[in-house]
Chain A
Amino acid sequence: MNLDFAPEDVAFREEVRTFIAENYPPELRGKQEEGEELSKADFLAWHKILAKKGWVAPSWPQQWGGTGWTPTQKYIWSEEQARADTIPVLPFGISMVSPVIYTFGTEAQKEKFLKPTYNGEIWWCQGYSEPGAGSDLAGLSTRAERITGDDGKAYYLVNGQKTWTTLAQYADWGFFLVRTDPAAKKQEGISFLLIDMKTPGITVRPLITIDGGHEVNEVFLENVKVPVENRIFEENKGWTAAKFLLAHERSGIAGVARSKRGIERLRGIAAGQPGDDGAPLLSDPMFKRKIAELEIDLTALEYTELRTLAGEAQGKGPGVESSLLKIKGTEIGQRLTDLVLEAAGHYGAPYFRGFPTEGGNALPIGPEFAARAPTTYFNMRKTSIFGGSNEIQRNIIAKMVLGL
């Protein structure tokens, strides 16, 4: 037993750290951490730099652009990006739909989608959740019926509604779970379709969340014609692909490096804010204790993740430990935003979104960090809900680990 990284891993860390320092666009620095709303161009800038370097999709098979890195190297890479607070490569194309395409897709599908996705030329969104199917995803009711088009080709005619569709406002394509056999048992009548978001009959409507932001959308599908060749894997076997997707790519799910950075930032904030006695908030025994507890809990999470990683490096799958990492990681991330808001005191109240930022009402009012403290706090509540809510994660552990 030992805690040291191998010399080649230390060298690798040095290499990626240097690369990030030299190549991450300066104008994007700090945007992620401050919780600024990111534009499509913001998201794509780093993606494209990485695509050029050949590092945008480390987990892919090498023939499609994967790096062939070991689990430890992938972990280091995700930690170093977090440490440098880079804007993450969005998961929808790179780590969600592409592994499904290269695992279950036809050669033509691979040729058509993988390279443009790699290069950031296709923006993907995920059409899974529905108003009536959240945690019980297999209860989805968006319907796809086979028809023959006027051109004589085979199509699916898709009708239904998807929701919580993240960043669909920018999407070129979406991957959708639809019901192709309403008579079959829940999981067995589902198919996995790739749909061009420009197809007539698709309407994307913004859902504004409690933080005032526009990240998620409702997607309405009304008589949308989807060529049958855009189905991945067999008809009615879409659940297999969906399950595969959910189990794929958990590297960095615990968010340890981001939370470490977050604590550093919180300490800096608390050192600069006055407590009730005029001394810095950081020396307030109650506030200090909450930071200490957060640090200790983060240490417990970090070493649990490292144990998982060491197991993975020896060929054990990431497995269900990822549920534990997701639960604890999101809890810690949320507590961080809670403490930042608390540190803001009175200045947790002003709300700037949509306000004129020029003239007499220009920012800032109060300390700079406070401007986004409340919206980030409200926004981060999503993390214990999405990706399988933390309660669903507990169900998974109960079933898969404890055998209950």
Chain B
Amino acid sequence: MDFNFSEDQTMLRDSVARYLQDRYDFDTRRKVTQSESGWRPEVWKAFAEELGILGAPFSEAQGGFGGGPIENMIVMEEIGKALVVEPYLSTVVIGGGFLKHSGYAGAGELIGSIIGGEAVIAFAYAEPQGRYNLADLKTTAKKDGAEYTLSGQKAVVWGAPWASHLIVTARTGGGQRDLGGVGVFLVESGAQGITRRDYPTVDGSRASEVYFETTPAILIADDAYPLVEQVVDEAIAALCAEAVGVQRKLHEGTLDYTRQRKQFGVPIASFQVLQHRMVDMFMNLEQSVSMTYMATLKLGESAEERGKAVSSAKVHIGRANKFIGQNAIQLHGGMGMTDELAIGHYFKRATMIEGLYGSVDHHLKRYEDLSFGKAA
């Protein structure tokens, strides 16, 4: 039993933290998120070249650090602290995850491009009708000789405007919600037959509705629902780590503010009702850390154990995000409502993370199905 980071892992954390502290301050971020492109390709380049973190979870044979989920966790927590919009999650964790696990022949080359910062990946899985059901797919894949073409609509594809490639789930067979017949495809962003409607997200990122019309695609895994679940579980664990970073800032920011803000002639932090609220925020945060470690360290277990671990972490973190976020705003009083302060932006990210890859209710249900057996 060991919850310490190795020396390399500590170095990784420190170097990411230092870089973001120097180059990713809140005002710069605000300008960038309001700019036309919405991100900074030079930051991505620095991730690849200066920091080398885009190779963090890949093996040395693949050109990476030789790390895995723990390295993703470390990077993602720092990403949460700085509200980084650049798409590490969809490119490295999710794109990298599919490429590592799928056995796709071109994986090595594309992983190389991810590590080098050339390839940016967005994950197009959700559909307007499907809510959080990963198997609810109307997008169809048609086989045309050795090639496939995709047709359908994907909803709120985070980071799609920046992506060089999309990883797309589509039906190769079966009915709309069947677990069989789920294919995973690789599509170039500029491929023929793709239309995108790009838009900002409420937390300062970018996303797109993506429409495919007989768009050429490469099948990287068929009958791949278990693979999709696995990679999404890895993504959720990483997202939990991001949430921990966000929660830390929400909590620290609230402690600082209530120590400075005076009412009735004293700092409002001296009021017991606010102290106890901040203690409850703290306990939520500490348990979020525990759940993130637990889920991350259990990613390699059986699908059932992994699923229970990840869903229970997401349930706790979804609730903790809401509790810590809402109370951070409440304890900041009117100041919490202003766009000027960073605190509201952390709250918005926390709120988005609650819904990403499944709400609290979705994961409670999934946990129940795994823990009690599907309802008879």
> Chain A residues in contact with chain B, CB under 8 A?
1-6, 9, 72, 279, 282-283, 285, 288-289, 292-293, 295-297, 299-301, 303-304, 306-307, 309-311, 313-314, 321, 324, 327-328, 391, 394-395, 397-398, 401-404
Give the interface segment out of B31-39, B175-183, B215-223, B363-371: B363-371
Does A288 contact B368, Cβ atoms closer than 8 Å? yes
Question: With an 8 A cutoff between CB atoms, is B155 at the interface?
Answer: no
For A5, the chain B residues whose CB sits under 8 A away are 1
CB < 8 Å neighbour of B5 from A1, A313, A327: A1
- Give the Cβ gap from B281 to chain A, nearest Cβ, in Å: 9
For A289, the chain B residues whose CB sits under 8 A away are 364, 368
Number of A-B contacts (CB under 8 A): 116
For B258, the chain A residues whose CB sits under 8 A away are 404
5 examples of A-B residue contacts, CB within 8 angstroms: A6-B1, A72-B1, A282-B372, A303-B294, A404-B275
Question: With an 8 A cutoff between CB atoms, is B297 at the interface?
Answer: yes
Does A394 contact B364, Cβ atoms closer than 8 Å? no
For A301, the chain B residues whose CB sits under 8 A away are 287
Question: With an 8 A cutoff between CB atoms, is B278 at the interface?
Answer: yes
CB < 8 Å neighbour of B2 from A2, A282, A321, A398: A2
- Give the Cβ gap from A230 to chain B, nearest Cβ, in Å: 38
> Chain B residues in contact with chain A, CB under 8 A?
1-5, 70, 255, 258-259, 269-270, 272, 275-276, 278-280, 282-283, 286-287, 289-291, 293-294, 297-298, 312, 315-316, 364, 367-368, 371-372, 375-376
Does A324 contact B283, Cβ atoms closer than 8 Å? yes
For A282, the chain B residues whose CB sits under 8 A away are 372
Does B294 contact A1, Cβ atoms closer than 8 Å? no
A394 to B284, CA, bound (A): 13
Does A303 contact B291, Cβ atoms closer than 8 Å? yes
For A404, the chain B residues whose CB sits under 8 A away are 255, 258-259, 269-270, 275, 278
For A309, the chain B residues whose CB sits under 8 A away are 1
A188 to B165, CA, bound (A): 71
Does B276 contact A307, Cβ atoms closer than 8 Å? no
- Known: A296-B312, A404-B270. Is A2-B282 also a contact (CB below 8 A)? no
For B70, the chain A residues whose CB sits under 8 A away are 1
A401 to B278, CA, bound (A): 11
For A395, the chain B residues whose CB sits under 8 A away are 272, 275-276
Across the interface, name the chain A residue whose C-beta is closest to B372: A288
- Give the Cβ gap from B190 to chain A, nearest Cβ, in Å: 41
CB < 8 Å neighbour of A296 from B278, B293, B367, B375: B367
Does B287 contact A402, Cβ atoms closer than 8 Å? no
A118 to B272, CA, bound (A): 42
Across the interface, name the chain B residue whose C-beta is closest to A282: B372
CB < 8 Å neighbour of B316 from A1, A300, A394, A397: A300
A345 to B66, CA, bound (A): 56
Greatest chain B CB density within 10 A among A283, A303, A314 is at: A303
- Give the Cβ gap from B251 to chain A, nearest Cβ, in Å: 9
Does B3 contact A1, Cβ atoms closer than 8 Å? yes
A6 to B1, CA, bound (A): 7
